[in-house]
Structure 1
Amino acid sequence: MAAHSSHHGRSTNRSRAGHSLWQHGEEKMGCQLCLHGPLWLCSSACLLGFVGTSYGIRQTFVRDRCKPGLALSETYLLSQSTQGCFPMADYVFFQFAFAAITVVLLAGSLLGRMNFGAWMLFVPMWLTLCYTVGAFCIWGDGFIQKYLIDYAGGYVIHLSSGVAGFTAAYWVGPRHSHDRQNFPPNNILHMVGGAGFLWLGWTGFNGGAPFAASRITSLAILNTHVCTATSLLIWVSMDIIVYKKSSVIGAVQGIITGLVCITPGAGLVDTIAAVVMGVLAGLVPWYTMMVLHRRLAFLQCVDDTLGVFHTHAVAGSMGGLLTGFFAKPSLLKMLYPDSLYGPGFLYAISDKKLKDGLKQIGIQFAGAVFITLWNAIFTSIICYLISHIVNLRMKEEDLEIGDDAAHGEEPYALWGDGEKMPSSFRLPHTPRFPSLCRWD
């Protein structure tokens, strides 16, 4: 089991790298993204260590009167996990990976204009006040854990990051007007490579959620790839039908929405249901992003840089609702024997338990509303508090210049470029070739 957990740990590492790489490919200010990445990673590691999984995941949130528990002691980390036959250290790392990737998703809505100092304050505050609360309520013996189905984070990770990113983008304000009109990708090839890593890493996320190499794990991995492939094909097909041409960016968006949509029910639905979810994952977010976004003033007034609201909030909430429709009772009992989950609505009809099926759909909807409201309210509070400490937004002149003004360097500096950093960071003399490489 420990080896199994380590395998999924490596897979989730690839997934985090994939998120950074594909976002780097889409983002103009590449250095800003590269620096934002290590920060959310370190912040998540520190919070998961000092605050501990007992704050957001385990049962002590209420019993200890909301006092966070320390997760750095040998006694705690080497004890057997309550989730399986492996040390608690594996469980802490796995949950850290979930928390870390949630923040980088959120960052996709804010890139290109948020002040770096404000971001440094935002990350630990949001992880503490928003992410851990949702994780506890749904996964950590919270008030909806035994009722709401969220297999691997459709609500905890994707809905929360999409809503919080959209809310924070409202408070920070839009990018520079020139960037909103013309914002070409930094590197499409990097984006494709990152999307590939992401798809591979998702095997670890959805496959590792049961904490065992089981039949549920196998089904979850298969459903993940089937749904994602279907979503990709549908998104590209919609681009061809409407715009008469396909695009690499569209294909990547289809990958993301497919992965997100299947996450709430990857190991709990039949593969034919995964195909249906993939079709809807390619259709609905495509429509909200490409059509509805241009028609609704509410969506246009918020500058969501990478469309995280559509690819994660819309796809994640839709996946949660579809899980309430397609969840198979036998799979639910296999993975959650002590839960109070009702059957998926589809099976409730065939078993003549329509009331139970409608109740489960209602619970899934209520859970989405709870996560949405909690993140919208507390993200607004966090942004308001930070705005009284530092500016949320970069200076306009810095926005015009980009990475060079923000960090004193360029992501792709030609000879003589990227030298506006403080002189203390420069070499005292011009570097020379090693003697073995000199030609005189």
Structure 2
Amino acid sequence: MVYFQFVFAAITLILIAGALLGRMNFHAWMIFVPLWLTFSYTITAYSIWCPTGWLAKKGIIDYSGGYVIHLSSGVAGFTAAFWVGPRANKDRERFPPNNILLMLAGAGLLWMGWTGFNGGDPYTVSVDASLAVLNTHVCTATSLLVWLLLDIMFFGKPSVIGAIQGMITGLVCITPAAGVVQGWAAIIMGILSGSIPWYTMMVLHKKISFLKHVDDTMAIFHTHAIAGSLGGILTGIFAEPKLCRIFYLVPEWEHYIGLLNGFHDNRAGAGFKQLGVQLLGILFVVFVNVIMTSIICVLIRLVVPLRLSEEELSTGDDAIHGEEAYALWGDGEKYESRHDSFYGADQEIPHSTKSGGAGGQVEMA
């Protein structure tokens, strides 16, 4: 259980990093990680998941981290991106994927891993865990198809990138509800998670100047903050009381009653109350992450620059790490590395040349 929760925390930071790619100072990031985990993540995680947390006492439903992980990372990443500033103009204007085949492989691993992400949350093999796995795949597949259909309708072509974006928003949306909603609700959530984040990313983002100003490299705000909030709201609508009681191990209680079930059981007041708690949770997570992330970034800026210099941005990875992720060198070019070469930077690398003699001897220069 401890390891499981530590991995959740690590995933949240990886998602935040996706919003800051291409310009944040590595030393600033190393300071940011422990500070944000301590003063932001733990606050929301305790408030929502710990039985003594104030939102947990109110009955908030977050099955596997729609609030704690995805909404937090989306808001914190967007806020940090505001403070760090944008990438170089050339990187913002053209940022194609390096390898779509590897991207597909990674997406497949992500989808497969989410089976354990949601299915493992009850910490036991149970009907609840099985339902969480099934709903995860149903919602994700639906979301992927809806995103593709929208791409075809408005852009004329389906794309691998669009399919993966739809996959991610489906995974995120079902996360707070995975084991507490019925299969038909997972389908509806997939339809909405494939369309609403698509609209915010493809339409609203281009119309709202503030969204365009903040350089969220991997669109974490749309795929995680928007999709996570959507999942939390829909959980408040579709949550099944019996399934909630199985997961939360509580007897008959006034909490954990989705709005639709509230209408069905003539307990509309309880349903509206649950929806209100879900909305309150969204406001709380947004508030904590905006405030704490801003404070942390401002404090770090007093010690080290948040952003790389323009010279370092133009050079890339080699300026920061002494190596490049994609070292493209070929005929007539000599690859040099400050760290990984046996030879010094100012020492010429030996090369072989064939002599013109009949013996075909090889001389070493």
Asked if Structure 1 and Structure 2 have the same fold, meaning a TM-score greater than 0.5 normalized by the shorter chain, the answer is: yes
Contact 1:409–1:418 (Cα < 8 Å) also in 2: no
Q: SS at 1:242's partner residue?
A: helix
Match of 1:190 in 2: 102
Match of 2:44 in 1: 134
How does 1:337-376 map onto structure 2 within 5 Å?
A: 337-338=249-250, 341-376=255-290
Give the CA RMSD over aligned residues. Answer: 1.8
Q: Which among 223, 228, 245 is matched to residue 316 of structure 1?
A: 228
Match of 1:395 in 2: 309
CA 1:277/1:418 → structure 2, altered by over 3 Å: closer, same or farther? farther
Match of 1:12 in 2: none
In 1: Cα distance, 2:94 partner to 2:203 partner? 19
Match of 2:165 in 1: 253
In 1: Cα distance, 2:55 partner to 2:301 partner? 33
Deviations along 1:207-245, one digit per CA (max 9) or x if unpaired, are 000111000000000000000000000001000000000
In 2: Cα distance, 1:333 partner to 1:342 partner? 8
Contact 1:264–1:323 (Cα < 8 Å) also in 2: yes
Q: How far off its partner does 1:417 sit?
A: 5.8
Q: Which among 285, 300, 307 is matched to residue 212 of structure 2?
A: 300
TM-score of the pair, normalised by structure 1: 0.76
Match of 2:9 in 1: 99
In 2: Cα distance, 1:234 partner to 1:281 partner? 9
Deviations along 1:155-207, one digit per CA (max 9) or x if unpaired, are 00000000000000000000001111111112211111111000000000100
Contact 1:149–1:341 (Cα < 8 Å) also in 2: no
How does 1:19-418 map onto structure 2 within 5 Å?
A: 91-141=1-51, 142-146=53-57, 147-338=59-250, 341-413=255-327, 414-415=329-330, 416=333
TM-score of the pair, normalised by structure 2: 0.91
Question: Which amino acid is 1:351 matched to?
Answer: D
Q: SS at 1:314's partner residue?
A: helix
In 1: Cα distance, 2:115 partner to 2:201 partner? 26
Question: Which amino acid is 1:396 matched to?
Answer: E
Question: Which amino acid is 2:168 matched to?
Answer: I
Contact 2:240–2:256 (Cα < 8 Å) also in 1: no
More displaced, 361-370 or 339-348?
339-348
Q: Which among 334, 338, 343 is matched to residue 421 of structure 1?
A: 338
In 2: Cα distance, 1:255 partner to 1:431 partner? 50
Is the radius of gyration larger for structure 1 or structure 2? 2
Contact 1:230–1:279 (Cα < 8 Å) also in 2: yes
In 2: Cα distance, 1:355 partner to 1:396 partner? 57
Contact 1:117–1:390 (Cα < 8 Å) also in 2: yes
In 1: Cα distance, 2:276 partner to 2:292 partner? 24
CA 1:274/1:431 → structure 2, altered by over 3 Å: closer, same or farther? farther
Give the unaligned 5+ runs of structure 2. Answer: 353-360
Q: SS at 1:112's partner residue?
A: coil
CA 1:418/1:139 → structure 2, altered by over 3 Å: closer, same or farther? farther
In 2: Cα distance, 1:102 partner to 1:120 partner? 15
Question: Which amino acid is 2:299 matched to?
Answer: L
In 2: Cα distance, 1:335 partner to 1:431 partner? 66
Identity of aligned residues (%): 58
In 1: Cα distance, 2:188 partner to 2:314 partner? 44
Give the unaligned 5+ runs of structure 1. Answer: 1-90, 434-438
